[in-house]
């Protein structure tokens, strides 16, 4: 019982820190991108990198240009825009209930949903990836993925930011639990930034990087997602 109490107090202490939720969602994005984003968004990243490689000749498209292009800054900025806007909307929506007696319960339920979805993702159980919305967004994103202009790539990032998945749902539920547009936006911005490194690695390393990241995910992603689920649970308990 002493060990359980110590763990509970430790989680409560971490959850009480102001940066706990953005930090947790950053790690969730980092871990989840290894098991999910590289598979779902990886083809769109590779499509953009291949389009850049095909437009240049051997003499004009050197290693530096390849690495810089693979960073795909406009695309990632588009995803950041969508995630931040969704977080702001989620936080603003629940802010309407802050003065009601049920707010603590509502906030706790949202954080419990986030914890449950993180658990599902940790055990490799995808949610919402085969919905009609996914098919529609994929068709819309297809032509944009081969475009070379920064505006088109920014638009591609904005579109793909709406792709439904359990990881995104969990992050949004946690952002909604803040009951604040600014805090929800900050939490989702941190989540978006967490997904960037794995996708940049795919852009740099191609299919080989995708396979290696998948192997690494078995050892890193699940523990990080489980830790995030535990923190979401601690936050939910703290709201009560």
Give the whole-angstrom CA distance, residue 178 versus residue 194: 19
Please, what is the angle between helix 181-239 and helix 73-95, to 10°?
A: 60
Least confident of 56-70, 125-139, 203-217: 56-70
201, with CB counted inside 10 A (0-12, 13-18, 19+), is: buried
Query: How do residues 115-170 score in pLDDT, each as one tens digit?
Result: 888 888 777 666 555 567 777 887 887 777 767 788 988 999 999 889 887 788 88
For residue 54, count other CB atoms closer than 10 A to its CB.
10
pTM over 0.85? The answer is no
Highest mean pLDDT among 43-47, 133-137, 225-229: 225-229
Residue 82 confidence (pLDDT) = 96
Evaluate if residue 172 carries a pLDDT over 70. Answer: yes
Q: What is the pLDDT of residue 89?
A: 96
* Confidence check: pLDDT of 79 > 90: yes
Distance CA 138, CA 134 (A): 6
What local confidence, expressed as pLDDT, does residue 127 receive? Answer: 57
DSSP 173: H
On average, the pLDDT of the chain sits at: 76
Number of Cβ within a 10 Å radius of residue 84:
21
């Amino acid at each position: 019982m002493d060990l359980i109490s110590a763990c509970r107090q430790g989680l409560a202490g971490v959850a009480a820190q102001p940066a706990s939720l953005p930090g947790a969602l950053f790690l969730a994005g980092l871990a989840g991108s290894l098991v999910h984003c590289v598979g779902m968004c990886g083809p769109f990243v590779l499509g953009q990198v291949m389009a850049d490689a095909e437009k240049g000749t051997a003499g004009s498209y050197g290693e530096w240009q390849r690495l810089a292009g693979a960073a795909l800054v406009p695309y990632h900025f588009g995803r950041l825009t969508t995630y931040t806007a969704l977080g702001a909307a989620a936080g603003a929506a629940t802010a309407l209930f802050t003065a009601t007696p049920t707010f603590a319960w509502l906030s706790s339920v949202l954080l419990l949903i986030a914890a449950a979805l993180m658990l599902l993702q940790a055990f490799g159980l995808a949610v919402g990836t085969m919905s009609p919305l996914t098919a529609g967004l994929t068709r819309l994103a297809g032509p944009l993925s081969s475009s070379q202009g920064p505006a088109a790539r920014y638009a591609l990032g904005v579109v793909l930011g709406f792709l439904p998945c359990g990881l995104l749902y969990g992050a949004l539920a946690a952002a909604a639990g803040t009951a604040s547009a600014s805090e929800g936006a900050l939490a989702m911005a941190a989540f978006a930034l967490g997904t960037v490194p794995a996708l940049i690695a795919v852009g740099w390393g191609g299919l080989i990087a995708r396979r290696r990241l998948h192997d690494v995910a078995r050892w890193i992603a699940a523990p990080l997602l489980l830790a995030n689920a535990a923190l979401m649970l601690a936050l939910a308990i703290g709201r009560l």
